[in-house]
Amino acid sequence: DAKTTQPTSMDCAEGRAANLPCNHSTISGNEYVYWYRQIHSQGPQYIIHGLKNNETNEMASLIITEDRKSSTLILPHATLRDTAVYYCIGDSGGGADGLTFGKGTHLIIQP
Amino acid sequence: EAGVVQSPRYKIIEKKQPVAFWCNPISGHNTLYWYRQNLGQGPELLIRYENEEAVDDSQLPKDRFSAERLKGVDSTLKIQPAELGDSAVYLCAPNAPRETNTDTQYFGPGTRLTVL
């Protein structure tokens, strides 16, 4: 699985877009970029994943650079409930062999 | 958390005591994972099941940890005897239900173990 690098923590004002970066310069061609988040005292929750194209769902948007060495998770209108640790994971099999989590980014939404 | 039940939610024991965790996912999950999450870290895989077979237990400390998944549905993770360093959150994660045809994992709320 690709090694990913994320900032340790970030702040964002409530109602603004939260942009969470992730570097994955060693990602291989068949590895997807997955994002999970973990709210305090809960298990991780799947957000979104993508390979090359940008993706959007009801939770977030994922922007992947053309060279696939980095990506950005966008929460368009952050709320206080979005405060969580966000994990960026590179995986070729959808996590079938188990997901490899780093330490993630602790996103704090400020009122 | 897609109906994944873990029990107990919290457990405090003294070192050298045994402890067991249960995971009850809704049916329809071929694959089930157990992870351990230490404070301030991301979850780390302990064991992976395909139906009732443990297909990857390379990260499971087999001298004290054991697991089973009877009938390919519910699963149990046991520690005997527990050590201070086993204090962590133990997470169960079935994969997405077969009918959704997606490769994602659904995590339970976890069991927080404190060993004194």
A59 touches chain B (CB under 8 A): no
Kindly report, residue by residue over B32-71, the tens digit of the pLDDT.
999 999 999 999 999 999 989 999 999 999 999 999 998 8
- Residue B38 near residue B52 (C-beta atoms within 8 A): no
Q: Are strands A105-110 and A9-13 parallel, antiparallel or unpaired?
A: parallel
d(CA A39, CA A85): 7
Percent of chain B with pLDDT over 70: 90
- Tens of pLDDT along chain A (111 residues) come to 778 999 999 999 999 999 999 999 999 888 999 999 999 999 999 999 999 999 999 999 999 999 999 999 999 999 999 999 999 999 887 677 888 999 999 999 999
Question: How far A94 CA lies from chain B's nearest CA (Å)?
Answer: 5
B109 touches chain A (CB under 8 A): yes
Question: How far A61 CA lies from chain B's nearest CA (Å)?
Answer: 17
Residue A80 has phi, psi (to 5 degrees) of -60, -30
Kindly report, residue by residue over B97-113, the tens digit of the pLDDT.
655 556 678 899 999 99
Average pLDDT value for residue range B6-31: 92
B44, burial (CB in 10 Å: exposed 0-12, middle 13-18, buried 19+): middle
Nearest to A98 among B41, B45, B108 (CB): B45
Q: Measuring CA to CA, which residue among B40, B66, B72, B59 is closest to residue A98?
A: B59
Please give the angle made by the CA atoms of A48, A49 and A54, to the nearest 5 degrees. 100
d(CA B79, CA B14): 12
* Structure-token pair, residue B62: 């087999």
Please give the angle made by the CA atoms of A24, A45 and B80, to the nearest 5 degrees. 100
d(CA A106, CA B4): 25
A28, burial (CB in 10 Å: exposed 0-12, middle 13-18, buried 19+): exposed
